[in-house]
Chain A
């Protein structure tokens, strides 16, 4: 019972947050929902392959691809994984040179979807599950994209190096000089997660936080999936930002990491999925998109991946803090889209990298 309520709270929480993202002047412009038909499967098998551009941490992304291949034998799913900002650059460069290589895309920077949609690159396509089981806040009104994954960008620490009672509780805490040289973080020019988080933290706490953090001799990584790994290796004691789902995976493998949900609020990341209009494998792309929003795949990214899902039929995994118990920062993809270049520039000026 409590579980159910907390799930609802989750969706409400993220829903309110995500509303601004997908708000669009034209309502109900989405095409009718499409089921997976034998004809679609047949056509997809003829194409035989599909390419998914994503910033999901590599082993999980490959896991999703392999589960798709297992369900639909004969269609090879290739994962093109790099940081979300690189994915964005890559697609811009490829489309600029008339190269149509991407079938399905997933980005941890929801602002990218706004740009691609504005460019007219996305296919309006609504899988049945999205129509039936996803709240309105988690799908585009025009049916071009929906939230494949939801996760947080918390802080963390290595439990071998830091005692629980000494661990920082807030963003402000890690500015203490005692943590100098012990902090690891990722870069907003590479990672969509970090770009989104940097936007939310700078909006709610202020850029002064980053100016002070830059004095802490941080270890600067690129991908948001790297800090949890460096934390687990014991390379640094404190993680200033990184993916929550990576932390869940590592922690549940028995490695010495613990998540910190900062008292100021934790940045919320929404990662939508979309099919490209000019996908080289249009049928396999539709099939993959439908599969990714199925309860099967969504439960997989929750259970094994440590993600959170907007699908009404998925269940949260026991032992993880439910979203409703966490103070969240407000997601605002439209603002990120406006501010993106500025954030990267300012960050580079402050951290000199």
Chain B
């Protein structure tokens, strides 16, 4: 019994290229992901309530001090963060990449730990640590110095406090860029300098520093960008201190009565600036290629620090106290303590908080479910799209592949909160009413994850020379068979690694989710944010630790499978 379906003859002929269909299909998907929300954003920014063209939204933006002040605050925040990140992270990167400091791998691992800690969780942990009166550090300070009840060492609810916390979770970007650049720098150039009679310092000044300068500058730009578009930490620390940043202001414009047109207008400067900064980063990093001149490179020469290496190590650990050890300890303490800001003791120990979160808090189950469904779906679909697009672009399989690559990278320029606003405006109205479903969150997370996933997969494809596939095809395999038998096994670890990173990036996303969730589609990050507003710090600590355990597990798995030197850029939110 055969089924009467006519075999499509097109496969044999050259009349129609099916790969074109694939190209257009994916291009369309990417366009819907990116172009639609951004168009609505621009539209709303330029129309009034009746839909007529106006510039009044921008006039309001510039003339209203409650809107202009946050803009200035945001720039100051981003600039200071970027500067401090470079001062702290560049020397650390150098120590890890080019010196004989002990425990270099551990230091790298700990930087990764601060990398994967969601910044909003770090901010809440720092509330526990450095709230001026109830903060653990300030309590210890008062006990040790005997200072009176009003004095404090550190007030986290302040502008410097916010800069500090944002820096804690931004410096890894600079660190990774600098460390990687230094590791790639061939020591032959430095050796040549030494042979020609230059002193160590002169070599450093005239050879090493110029070689890593592009990486430092790029790091500074990335840090600036991260700090500028961050939502969680300012929402948690700036509001109690009595000031707004651009992201929290955009978010507050959606509170009742919502002002979407103002939110859209306020989002545009953020978007434009991000595009400009990314262009700058691209230009700077584009020059870096000369660093690998010199043919076959030997391993970088390690500089002997002598006894100073212990000092260096101590300094690294002091730096890492801030993003990793202290916050994690504070969360752990709050999890098992009856009062979040008291140290655990025999009289104070409780497991009630864990019981409350797991069995009494009725939102936990749904939020965990939503988070994992979205995490898995985003990671799977995102990886598949990334694989296909990377294949098409690296193998130049179709004409127009460059545009595809550009579209896949473009979301890098969209801050999470801006995308949230755009998606909200696009999908709460016909023809696509997706608000209130998990789909709108999936779209947001996919869009945000696409650039990192694409870059990961693209470099993986580039590493596999097409001649392997060609050999297979010469020996008679079809294109698909060659892909399955040769390319797929070689790509497996990269695919899994990409999946893991998209998953981790998705379950920690807050800034887009906070604009798009409904009661039925709440995720863990939004639940944590809600709990923070009513001051339920113990419940947050439990949820935060659950999240950290899952994240670290996945990252550890990805690291075992080899990772491109931490070159993946997780988004902060």
Is B534's CB under 8 angstroms from A341's CB? no
Instruction: Please give, as numbers and ranges, the residues of chain A lying within 8 Å of B254 by CB-CB distance.
Output: 89
Q: Which of A212-259 contact B (CB under 8 A)?
A: 218-223, 225-226, 229-230, 232-236, 255
Known pairs A97-B433, A220-B240, A230-B134; A62 contacts B519 (CB<8 A): no
Write the residues of chain B forming the contact surface with A, with a CB cutoff of 8 angstroms: 66, 69, 131-134, 149-150, 157, 239-244, 252, 254-258, 339-341, 356, 360-363, 366, 428, 433, 435-436, 518-520, 530-531, 533-536, 539
Interchain CA distance A98-B255 in the complex, whole Å: 19
Known pairs A53-B519, A101-B518, A230-B134; A225 contacts B362 (CB<8 A): no
Contact of B518 among A57, A77, A99 (CB under 8 A): A99
| Least distance between A124 CB and chain B CB atoms (Å) | 24
Q: Which residue of A lies closest to B235 (CB)?
A: A222
Is A92's CB under 8 angstroms from B362's CB? no
Is A81's CB under 8 angstroms from B530's CB? yes
Interchain CA distance A76-B533 in the complex, whole Å: 25
Interchain CA distance A229-B341 in the complex, whole Å: 11
Residue A83, interface by CB 8 Å: yes
Interchain CA distance A273-B331 in the complex, whole Å: 36
| Least distance between A38 CB and chain B CB atoms (Å) | 26
Interface centre among B244, B360, B433 (most CB of A within 10 A): B360
**Chain A: interface residue total (CB-CB under 8 A):** 57
Interchain CA distance A222-B534 in the complex, whole Å: 7
Is A234's CB under 8 angstroms from B133's CB? yes
Instruction: Please give, as numbers and ranges, the residues of chain B lying within 8 Å of A352 by CB-CB distance.
Output: 66, 69, 242-243
Is A235's CB under 8 angstroms from B133's CB? yes
Residue A8, interface by CB 8 Å: no
Is B519's CB under 8 angstroms from A222's CB? no
Interchain CA distance A218-B257 in the complex, whole Å: 25
Contact of B362 among A79, A93, A219, A235 (CB under 8 A): A79
Instruction: Please give, as numbers and ranges, the residues of chain B lying within 8 Å of A97 by CB-CB distance.
Output: 428, 433, 435-436
Known pairs A226-B533, A351-B242; A59 contacts B341 (CB<8 A): no
Write the residues of chain A forming the contact surface with B, with a CB cutoff of 8 angstroms: 51, 53, 57-59, 62-63, 65-66, 76-83, 85-86, 88-90, 92-94, 96-99, 101-102, 161, 182, 189-190, 218-223, 225-226, 229-230, 232-236, 255, 341, 348-349, 351-353
Contact of B134 among A92, A235, A353 (CB under 8 A): A235
Contact of B244 among A86, A94, A353 (CB under 8 A): A353
Instruction: Please give, as numbers and ranges, the residues of chain B lying within 8 Å of A233 by CB-CB distance.
Output: 131, 133-134, 339-341
Known pairs A77-B362, A86-B255, A89-B258; A221 contacts B535 (CB<8 A): yes
Is B149's CB under 8 angstroms from A58's CB? no
Instruction: Please give, as numbers and ranges, the residues of chain A lying within 8 Å of B433 by CB-CB distance.
Output: 97-98
Is A89's CB under 8 angstroms from B339's CB? no
Interchain CA distance A229-B538 in the complex, whole Å: 12
Interchain CA distance A221-B532 in the complex, whole Å: 10
Interchain CA distance A222-B252 in the complex, whole Å: 12
Given A88-B256, A353-B244, 15 more A-B residue pairs with CB atoms under 8 Å apart are: A63-B360, A78-B363, A80-B363, A81-B363, A81-B530, A81-B534, A82-B533, A86-B255, A99-B435, A101-B436, A101-B520, A225-B535, A233-B339, A236-B133, A341-B257
Instruction: Please give, as numbers and ranges, the residues of chain B lying within 8 Å of A65 by CB-CB distance.
Output: 362
Write 27 A-B pairs (CB below 8 A) sorted by A numbering.
A51-B519, A58-B361, A58-B534, A58-B536, A62-B360, A62-B361, A79-B363, A81-B534, A90-B518, A90-B519, A93-B258, A94-B436, A96-B428, A97-B433, A101-B519, A101-B520, A182-B150, A218-B242, A220-B241, A223-B535, A225-B535, A226-B533, A226-B534, A235-B132, A235-B134, A341-B257, A353-B239
Interchain CA distance A195-B223 in the complex, whole Å: 39
Known pairs A79-B363, A223-B535, A233-B134; A89 contacts B242 (CB<8 A): no
Contact of A353 among B242, B256, B366, B535 (CB under 8 A): B242
Interchain CA distance A352-B360 in the complex, whole Å: 37
Known pairs A161-B149, A353-B244; A222 contacts B533 (CB<8 A): yes
Interchain CA distance A317-B157 in the complex, whole Å: 38
Q: Which residue of A lies closest to B356 (CB)?
A: A59
**Interface SS of B by simple majority:** loop
Contact of A222 among B149, B239, B363, B536 (CB under 8 A): B239
Instruction: Please give, as numbers and ranges, the residues of chain A lying within 8 Å of B360 by CB-CB distance.
Output: 59, 62-63, 66
Known pairs A96-B428, A99-B436; A349 contacts B520 (CB<8 A): no
| Least distance between B307 CB and chain A CB atoms (Å) | 44
Is A78's CB under 8 angstroms from B535's CB? no
Is B362's CB under 8 angstroms from A230's CB? no
Q: Which residue of B lies closest to A233 (CB)?
A: B134
Shortest Cβ-Cβ A-B pairs, 8 listed: A226-B535, A99-B436, A233-B134, A89-B256, A235-B134, A229-B535, A223-B534, A222-B533
Instruction: Please give, as numbers and ranges, the residues of chain A lying within 8 Å of B435 by CB-CB distance.
Output: 93, 97, 99
Known pairs A77-B362, A219-B157, A232-B339; A349 contacts B66 (CB<8 A): yes
Interchain CA distance A175-B242 in the complex, whole Å: 18
Interchain CA distance A253-B536 in the complex, whole Å: 16
Interchain CA distance A189-B259 in the complex, whole Å: 14
Instruction: Please give, as numbers and ranges, the residues of chain B lying within 8 Å of A96 by CB-CB distance.
Output: 428
Known pairs A77-B362, A190-B533, A234-B133; A92 contacts B256 (CB<8 A): yes
Interchain CA distance A161-B157 in the complex, whole Å: 20
Instruction: Please give, as numbers and ranges, the residues of chain B lying within 8 Å of A89 by CB-CB distance.
Output: 254-256, 258
| Least distance between B527 CB and chain A CB atoms (Å) | 10
| Least distance between B350 CB and chain A CB atoms (Å) | 12
Q: Which residue of A lies closest to B531 (CB)?
A: A58
Is A234's CB under 8 angstroms from B519's CB? no
Instruction: Please give, as numbers and ranges, the residues of chain B lying within 8 Å of A57 by CB-CB distance.
Output: 534
Is B240's CB under 8 angstroms from A189's CB? no
Q: Which residue of B lies closest to A221 (CB)?
A: B240
Q: Which residue of B lies closest to A85 (CB)?
A: B256
| Least distance between B528 CB and chain A CB atoms (Å) | 13
Instruction: Please give, as numbers and ranges, the residues of chain A lying within 8 Å of B361 by CB-CB distance.
Output: 58, 62
Interchain CA distance A250-B256 in the complex, whole Å: 31
Q: Which residue of A lies closest to B429 (CB)?
A: A97
Instruction: Please give, as numbers and ranges, the residues of chain A lying within 8 Å of B240 by CB-CB distance.
Output: 219-221
